[in-house]
Chains A and B, each alone.
Chain A
Amino acid sequence: MRKVYLCGQTMNGIYSALYDAWKSSRDEEAGIAFTDTVEHQLFCEYVEVVEDRRKGVAVDKLIRDHLGEKAYWDIYHALLSEDAKRADAVFHVLQDARAVKDSKRIMEHLTNPAVGKVFELKRRVANEAHLFLEFIRFRELEGGVMFSEISPRNRVLTCFGDHFGNRFPLENWMIYDKTHKEALLHRARAPWILISGEELDEELTKRVTEREKEFACLWRGFFQAIAIEERRNPSCQRTHLPLHFRKDMLEFDDMGGVEVF
């Protein structure tokens, strides 16, 4: 009977499921589903996965060693998506990698449905992550922390850690994901960390410094001045900067229609 491993939606959950599935079912037909979204079917045996960080470490190493660094990152990105089949697709990629001559090139087999799925998910996540590198805006809170809030579709926070960590090594900064209620936190001169499951005090995030108000205003003014009126083109602007990003970007919040300059 086909075994389906059930886990939570977190990375840890998925990695633990991959571990169990790989350990007991790598040579059989098997799958992975999420406890909260699974639709039970006849003729399947459902197995609850016990989550364990050590399983995650083992799977991490397994993928790196056998599929190589590049495929590892493809898979990692794919798992950041919200797709209900993401863990299942990755498991099948791992299985199918054994059948190809050079398992490190598994991600080039785009005609394989599981590989195609993982590739597609990874592309979606990487695209969204890239857009946020551009459009994220920080504001300076009273305590001196540079704070940003975003509403991404995928769990992209960890894609920003190295980028901003290298860029702002001496700053305390934090990016809050409103969709998934997670935060990426960086303290000056320290490595970044991901925090989940903690409530954010919204009041605190609204208390900005006086300087913050000044520079936000300067930026809005600059943004208005830089456009060439004779070339005005809102549809082109919309193609590059879709509306849903704008709610977290200060140059598009209209300040109740107040002209800055």
Chain B
Amino acid sequence: MNGMEEKRMAADKIGIGMPIFEKLKILSDAAKYDVSCTSSGVDRQGDGTGIGNCHAAGICHSFAADGRCVSLLKILFTNECIFDCKYCVNRSSNDVERTSFTPDEVCTLTIEFYRRNYIEGLFLSSGILKSPNYTMELIYATLYKLRHTYHFQGYIHVKAIPGTDAELIRRIGFLADRMSVNLELPTAESLRLLAPHKTRKNILAPMRLVQNAMAENKQEVALYRNAPHFVPAGQSTQMIIGATPENDYQILNVAESLYQKFGLKRVFYSAYVSVNKDAALPVKYQEGAGGGPPLLREHRLYQADWLLRFYRFEAHELLDEKNPNFNVLLDPKCDWAIRHLEQFPVEVNKAGYEMLLRVPGVGVKSALRIVKARRMGNVKFEDLKRMGVVLKRAVYFLTCNGRMMYPSVKIDEDYITRNLLNVGERLPDSVTGLSYRQLSLFDDQNFTPRTLQNIVAG
């Protein structure tokens, strides 16, 4: 019997004794704080010999009571953990009921849920049992079985545990569609404080590895069409917001460099939900101290993240040392525009695509429509509406053929701010609970939440 096999047998034993209902309850409850649950990024048809396929836009299958999309069977392999991250329910110092799945249990749950169309696939994360390698071997065994014994061709998102051997990560990457390593906290300092067993270096190493392996794999696939694909849906990460004192500017800079330097598909932000009492954690969000998770802040970060990815903004344009936090009242795009009134108004029939993108009320699609339409003839205010521009915001920043829509509009900071605040922001069912699907800020009326989701999903 080889080592692999032995470990599998050992793992099969862990679960004995507890009914699967109990296990699923514990291990899904423990996984729910992970916010990335999209099934997007890869298009793959089934080959007729198994079960499953993938859609690039991702598919939601239900919506939980918190309004979040349920797309994947999101579970931990085990909630045993040798680490003691202060913010986590599963930390070793917590006295909670512990359990682990067996690889076969995970496979059966995935397949049986999938064939009932409950889910798009599996999201498998884990606490650390014995060591990172030991745990990831178990996860490898699970995914291997799922792909090769159960012939599952649907979506798999797997979490990589920092400190796992490179070779193991590589093997797992060929079985998964998306891999992610959680950054956990925005700075190395916070990590030291709240996750004493993790280091920045440990977290970034597997991220880099995945990035490089993806690049190599691209070449292989270009050469041999049938070469296996390494995490075809790319990698993502998430940061906890509000557990540590970083400001929005720091966080946004971190996100930007993750996109630029690590080629991440998505950065997710997770408003800190207090689950433990600990001197190192902010009292404000702790149980009973009033004040829920910092949802508005999380929302602003998603908006800004969007500006980075689709609107060609850079972090330093949105915030800076002097203004390190987002405006509570205005979304980051309006806020930017008001601080740069010298660049407005913009002439619809002349302005470049990049500048149009920066106009509040103009979305990615409507900017494109404007550029196309003005080749055929002059664009007027009436046309803008049809193109999906939200005029009640855009009127302060646009001219058509040299004229503002209303002669009374003044390019004046106070005046515009007051009016924009009157218009009000369509906060996604706001801030009492952000839905990841309805990040419906960017003002394209022809965008349904659905199409937005496709974009969000990256």
Contacts and interface: CB of A to CB of B under 8 A. Distances in A.
B108 to A, nearest CB: 9
A46 B29 CA distance: 65
A166 interface: yes
A94 B428 CA distance: 42
A113 interface: no
A230 B273 contact: yes
Interface of B: 20-22, 24-25, 28-29, 31-33, 45-46, 48-53, 59-70, 73-74, 109, 112-113, 115-118, 154, 273, 292-293, 295, 428-429, 432-435, 437-438, 448-450
A218 B24 contact: yes
Contacts of B113: 215, 218-219, 222
Given A215-B112, A233-B432, 8 more contacts: A218-B109, A223-B62, A229-B66, A233-B65, A233-B433, A236-B66, A237-B66, A251-B62
Nearest to B118: A219
9 contacts: A169-B48, A218-B112, A221-B25, A227-B66, A229-B66, A233-B435, A240-B435, A260-B21, A261-B25
A177 B73 CA distance: 27
B51 A231 contact: no
A217 B51 contact: no
B172 to A, nearest CB: 24
A130 interface: yes
Contact of B433 (A222, A231, A261): A231
Contacts of A219: 113, 116, 118
Contacts of B449: 239-240
B68 A137 contact: no
A171 interface: yes
Contacts of B49: 169-170
B218 to A, nearest CB: 26
Given A222-B28, A240-B449, A234 B65 contact: yes
Interface in A36-68: none
A233 B46 CA distance: 36
B64 A223 contact: yes
Nearest to B61: A134
B21 A218 contact: yes
Contacts of A249: 62
Contacts of B70: 223, 226
A24 interface: no
